[in-house]
Amino acid sequence: MLTPINVIGHVNPDTDSIAAAIGYAWLLRERDGANAIPSRAGAMNAQSTWVLKTLGIEAPVYLADASPRFERIARTLPPILPNRPLREAWEVASGGHTGAPIVEADGTPLGLITGNSVFRFFSRQMEERIDLGNVSVARILSEPCGEAADQDVPRFTTNMRVRDGRPRVVRDERDDFLVVDENGKYYGICRSPDVLNPPRMQIILVDHNESAQALGSLDEADLIEVLDHHRLGNSPTRTPIPFTIDPVGSTSTLVGERVRNAGVEVSERIAGLLLAGILSDTLIFKSPTTTPRDKAAAIWLAEIFLKNQPANLSYQNLEEYGRAILSSGTGLAARELSSIITSDLKLYESGSFKFAIAQVEVPTLLELAERLHEIQHALDDYREAKGLALMVLMVTDVVRDASRLVISGESGRLEELPYTRLPDGTLEAVGVVSRKKQLLPVVLDLLQ
């Protein structure tokens, strides 16, 4: 079997990370015949959940870290029922290089037939039957194999880290161990050499390259490729790898371009998914990070998707689809206060002036009013706890391209911000959606 390759986006995955992982894994399978598995490094958010459900696409596999699991080293030998004759199990155990798995009809493993277990069974039979005089090997081999199984074999669960099972294996005299699924049912057998030296996972990072944003234990895996559109911040690799950082608006753009160049036939679902990644990351081309390449890729994908939409959908154009995607995100009412403030927070310094700008994207600003009071308090608390002079929360309405700024601290320094002050004390910044390219430069100017 081909080595599995996990294609995975950053932790706290957004729609671009999910779409790029699924789309790129699909291309690698389609174009290169690779065993590429779309993966995710965290829970799906409301928007990407909506996109996958709308398109009828399965969520990527969740990978908490890149440390190999027992599933990876398990050999899935066909199980043998305990009432089958020992001869049958012995043929498997002596023919292969592992023990033979003896498993009840309901999938519960009873144990393993190994050279040792059979030897012990023969010895017992000889002792018991010595008085009868005539002990035939053929007769012993026709006994139910369950009787001869080693029933004390340690069991490891498929999703357990191999490194966590290693101490147990090192202490044990056995060579073979059972692997069971989360329900304790038989999955396969693993051998001690594989436990002591498991194959490293093969990982492709999409939509990020900094290990701080990647799944855990990346150092235990082989990083074999990076496809991204963020600033460079990766750790060294063991060998040279294909490494792409292209300053476009989304990683889905880069995947879409590769799909187009490969000339492979792309389904409307994959086209709709990559299109969703582009529209989400560029806020339907309104984010200042958008480039002509994002639009070109989106238009090409939209042509494929809109013409052959799944039966339940009837989007007229790319904008309508984009607005539906952006509206599907979680509103302020349903979010934890702490996540509103800290899930996308960046710290800055201007001389000795320390400040923070947090951003939260919402499908509507209507819910801000009812939570403004507690948000303001939480900002004040956070700012004081961190010793900041100023803290700004940028609540961005991604459907209508406007932000509301909630300010805590020395707001006097921001009096000249070119935005409208509303009666509730917040600032209304129409057309402002990017912290990096729009808000931050204006704030830094005032602080000079």
CA distance 23 to 276: 11
Closest to Mn ion by CB, 47 or 98: 47
- Are 399 and 367 spatial neighbours (Cβ–Cβ below 8 Å)? no
CB of 230 to Mn ion, least distance (A): 7
Q: Between 67 and 209, whose beta carbon lies closer to Mn ion?
A: 209
**Residue bearing tokens 């789309």:** 23
Q: Which residue is nearest to Mn ion (CB)?
A: 16
Task: Identify the helix (H) or strand (E) that includes residue 347.
Answer: strand 345-350
H or E segment and range at residue 47: helix 46-55
Angle between helices 251-262 and 268-281 (to 10 degrees): 150
Paired tokens of 76:
């899935």
CB of 237 to Mn ion, least distance (A): 21
| Smallest gap from residue 184 Cβ to Mn ion (A) | 40
CB 303 to Mn ion: min, Å: 23
The token duo for 296 is 């070109």
CB of 248 to Mn ion, least distance (A): 9
Calpha distance 323→387 (Å, rounded): 39
DSSP element (H, E) containing 403: strand 402-409
Q: How far is the CB of 205 from Mn ion (least distance, A)?
A: 12
Residues that bind Mn ion (CB under 5 A): 16, 207, 250-251, 281
Closer to Mn ion by CB, 67 or 280: give it: 280
Find the Cα–Cα–Cα–Cα dihedral 16, 314, 267, 325, rounded to 10°. Answer: 0
* Shortest reach from residue 20's CB to Mn ion, in Å: 7
Query: Quick check: helix, strand or coil at residue 334?
Result: helix
| Residue nearer to Mn ion on the CB measure, 155 or 230 | 230
Q: Which residue has the tokens 């001389």?
A: 351
Token pair of 155 as six digits? 């069991």
